[in-house]
Amino acid sequence: MQIVCGRSYSYPATNNLIVNTNTERIIKSRKIIIELLLARCPQSEAIQKIAEEYGVKETRFKKKNEDCFLCGLCVRMCNERMGISAINFVNRGPHKKVSPPFDVVSDVCQTCGACAFICPTERIKLEEISKNKEVPILDEYNERLAKRAATYIPYPQAVPNKATIDERYCVHMLKDECGVCKEFCEADAIDYEQKEKKVSLDVGAVVLSPGFDIFDAEIKEEYGYGFYPNVVTSIEFERILSSTGPFAGKVLRPSDKTEPKRIGFIQCVGSRDSKRDYCSSVCCMYATKEAIIAKEHAGEDLECDIFFMDMRAFGKGFDEYYNRAKELGVDYIRCRPSAVREIPQTKNLLIEYLAEDDKKVSREYDLVVLSVGIVPPKSANEISEKFGIELNEHNFCKTDPFTPVESTREGVYVSGPFTEPKDIPETIMQASGASSKVLSLLKDVKGSLIIPKEYPPEINVEGQEPRRVVNVPRVVEYAKTLPNVVYADDNLFTCSNDTQEIIKEKIKEHNLNRVVVASCTPRTHEPLFRNTVREAGLNPYLFEMANIRDQCSWIHMHEPEKATEKSKDLVRMTVAKSRLLEPLQKMLVPIIKSALVIGGGLSGMTSAVELANQGFDVYLVEKEKELGGNLRRIHYLVAEENPQDKLKKLIENVKKAEKIHLYTEAKIEKFEGSIGNFKTTISTKGKSIELDHGVVVVATGAQEYKPKEYLYGQHERVLTQLELEQRLSTDGEWLAPDKNQMPRNVVMIQCVGSRDDERPYCSRVCCTEAVKNALKIKELSPETHVYILYRDIRTYGFNESFYTEARRQNVVFIRYDEGRKPEVSKNGNGLLVEVFDQTLKMPIEISADLVVLSAGIVPNDDSETISQFLKVPLNTDGFFLEAHMKLRPVDFSTDGVFLAGLAHSPKTVSESIAQAEAAACRAAAILSKDEYETEATISSVNEELCTG
């Protein structure tokens, strides 16, 4: 017997029987049936889709506008699969319908929702069938703002991107019914009897990265979370804003799915309080980000108010982003609201607070977002017990400032927010830093478990007309009309593992010889897609990208039609370019297994020692006579009494390391080459030396701003924080110039040389430095009055507890406004400081024995010269610019050159060490190879066209 076209049939099977299920007559019959169905349920998307497939545009029969075409799938599912029979067909003829017996809601229905799930017209309403109230399964990925099935994929881009069965809700697992998924799974992948397996692994080191949990906002009952539906957490709001979220990126209220007109953000929920005396570090910026995105999605008329205590925009580029938010209309209100109340009639919310002018204000909001803090993972104590590591007083992993990725147990390393709340760049740095430590520990077995990746032979496309793959969400139909395009598709996440597999399949299925992806930036994703097409057998240079995210959807977000047309143009241009693509071959060049580290400060020495510990030769070049850089001026940390001992030990390790070749008083004269094969000429002590090396680590540091304001350099009682620290470290010497009595009043002024028009960035460490020195003064002289004049106190992370301690020891914090900076004048032998107190709303005068300026961090004078030598960029502030702010924080866009320490941006000792270790890891990844594949795309000058 033979079945043609693979359709089902009911005729008795006999020998030599041929069954045609796709003849013209049968197709005509199907079209009539579709017309009948379309007449009965013209609004059904399922029927409309089938009608479109068969070319049926309209029905000739009278429309009834029903919502059920009596397919019976729901009845069969309930009866045959669930074994319940809560619904069935009732009545006859035109009155036939699906209903519970006697049209009475059923008391046997288990409210599993299987009937509603399988209904093609979404006609089934469980409340019309069952006495039981439906209890939906809430989607954890979407923060329980959406529903999911018992069989589901946990989240988009899950690895592996496979479905799982939640046995808590699966009817088969609970009642041994259903089993549909196993029966219809084409891969035969479902095994209901599968049990959890425990696997023992022999390892040489462990890296703990369990992440963090968020604060349970229900604990803060005064804000109404869990009681008022329109009070959401910042994580929930993040999902609301996402295109893959519960509302597909539309800004809607959970209670009634309407668009809010005013949103209030409340900061520090679960942070900076008596029970959690630390700052979560990320909340200020993610609230700012969410406010900006909300206004982009909902329109400029959306009002966003952020209630905050201190705006902690301390990261690289953060203050610029904060200022941009204010320009876009985000309103920042400095206060900590005590409560949120709901208006029952509208479900709107009232926030009452005391404004800066001491007036009580009540504002009504459609939606309130609680910026919840970071707390240790619930498994922290279990992890501590299993791995034998210590936790700190906040229940995060205990680390030392000079060993930020090492736990208290040797061989167990940590990274990410498990050590302290932190942002993505710092997390990435720590992860690479932990990897570097593992590489050093296991250097003797390095490479023993590597399995070389094998690619299929390349397809020969010489002389062939191009064909291509396009992934263009909004212009896919247009792409299909372009010349030589044989396949076009759109995906939500083109960079995900499953989509990569689809691309490889389509290349083979359609015998494609050119591939174009229209999505995001090639700067981060081009290597991924090139590798994908190579795995499919194509030369990687037969791939091209159209950047319609950065160049269209981002910059034209309020002009969708124009953005779509521009996307079409970009796709058309990219297709045209792809026709000219030819296979290119990379060359293998040997790698010089040595590194050049520029800068002999903390970061440079740390990178050098790490690379030397991994077995690589290191040329450490320092322009000064001595090693140590800025750390030579740091005599104590808030959590470390004597960093000079650590510095001395680090310098000893550098000098005794056989693999480290040290050059002091050295200057770069010439630099050439490329990744794996650099050549640098340095001059040192009257000699010129050529160094051959495979990678470069830039750790040139930065310097303290030399103030031109507040009488600095004109009065001996005006110091910088580093100068004060030098004096404090020598005990009585800090009393200068009058050594016969303790200073009565010490005034510290923050943001000197930072956060102004000339240097709009935050220097990150100044607030902690001021608090540190204030506590030291109180330790040496409890009677001395210390005043800190500030704009925002940015003691992020665990440094918040030292800010608390300073207040406890009666250090007085006085906030001033950017537009009314303090004034310092001579007052006899002392100084007079005038400042307008934003709390008292009046000017005050302080007679000061010492004025201490929290001078910012500025780039070194030679940064531009080094930038030109290495062909690496600087940002507008003069610091070196990394390849990607979040994902590649230690890489330059120039391959083989890496970045660490203050040369990147202002940062603490601990952060500098972590970034230096990360840079060493990235450098070692190259030096560990014997050969490097050079880039095959090489530019050349057409001398006939060049006017130079």
Q: What is the pLDDT of residues 114-131, one digit of tens each?
A: 998 889 888 888 888 888
Spell out the domain ranges in the chain: 136-190, 213-373, 380-443, 468-578, 590-701+873-933, 704-858
Residue 621 has pLDDT above 70, yes or no: yes
Please say if the pLDDT value at position 469 is more than 60.
no
Binned at pLDDT 50, 70 and 90, residue 900 comes out as very high
Which fold, 468-578? Rossmann fold (3.40.50)
Pairwise CA distance, residues 678 & 894, whole Å: 12
pLDDT at residue 747, rounded to an integer? 98
| Options 3.50.50.60, 3.40.640.10, 3.20.20.60, 1.10.10.10; CATH of 704-858 | 3.50.50.60
The answer to whether residue 890 scores a pLDDT higher than 90 is yes
Cis status, amide bond into 120, omega within 30 of 0: no
**Domain 213-373 and domain 590-701+873-933 have a common topology:** yes
pLDDT at position 538 = 84
Per-residue pLDDT at 657: 95
Share of the chain above pLDDT 70, in %: 93
Give the per-residue SS3 of 26-82.
Answer: HHHHHHHHHHHHHHHCCCCHHHHHHHHHCCCCCCCCCCCCCCCCCCCHHHHHHHHHC
pLDDT surpassing 50 at residue 488: yes
pLDDT of the residue at 5: 54
Q: Read off the pLDDT of residues 847-879 as tens digits, 9 standing for 90 and up.
A: 999 999 999 999 999 999 999 999 999 999 999
Residue 94 buriedness (CB in 10 A; 0-12 / 13-18 / 19+): exposed
Residue 359 phi, psi dihedral angles, 5° rounding: -90, 140
User: pLDDT (tens digit, 9 = 90+) per residue, 806-840?
Assistant: 999 999 999 999 889 999 999 888 899 999 998 88
Q: What is the pLDDT of residues 642-671, one digit of tens each?
A: 899 999 999 999 999 999 999 999 999 999
Architecture of domain 590-701+873-933: 3-Layer(bba) Sandwich (3.50)
d(CA 705, CA 860): 10
Give the pLDDT score at 739. 58
Fold classification of 213-373 is: FAD/NAD(P)-binding domain (3.50.50)
For residue 737, the model assigns a pLDDT of 56
Helix ranges (DSSP H) in 871-908: none
pLDDT at 740: 62
- Look at residue 598 and give its three-state secondary structure: strand
How much of the chain exceeds pLDDT 90, in percent?
60
Q: Which two tokens stand for residue 202?
A: 């022999």
Q: Give yes or no for residue 479 having a pLDDT over 80.
A: no
550, pLDDT greater than 80: no
CB 852 within 8 A of CB 746: yes
Segment 777-784 shows an average pLDDT of 92
> Is 333 or 122 the better-scoring residue by pLDDT?
333
The model's pLDDT over 572-599, given as tens digits with 9 standing for 90+, comes to 888 888 888 888 888 889 999 999 999 9
Q: Flag whether pLDDT at 563 surpasses 90.
A: no
pLDDT above 70 for 474: no
The pLDDT of residue 537: 83
The yes-or-no verdict on residue 607 having pLDDT over 90 is: yes
pLDDT digits (tens, 9 = 90+) for 251-276: 999 999 999 999 999 999 999 999 99
Average pLDDT, the chain: 89
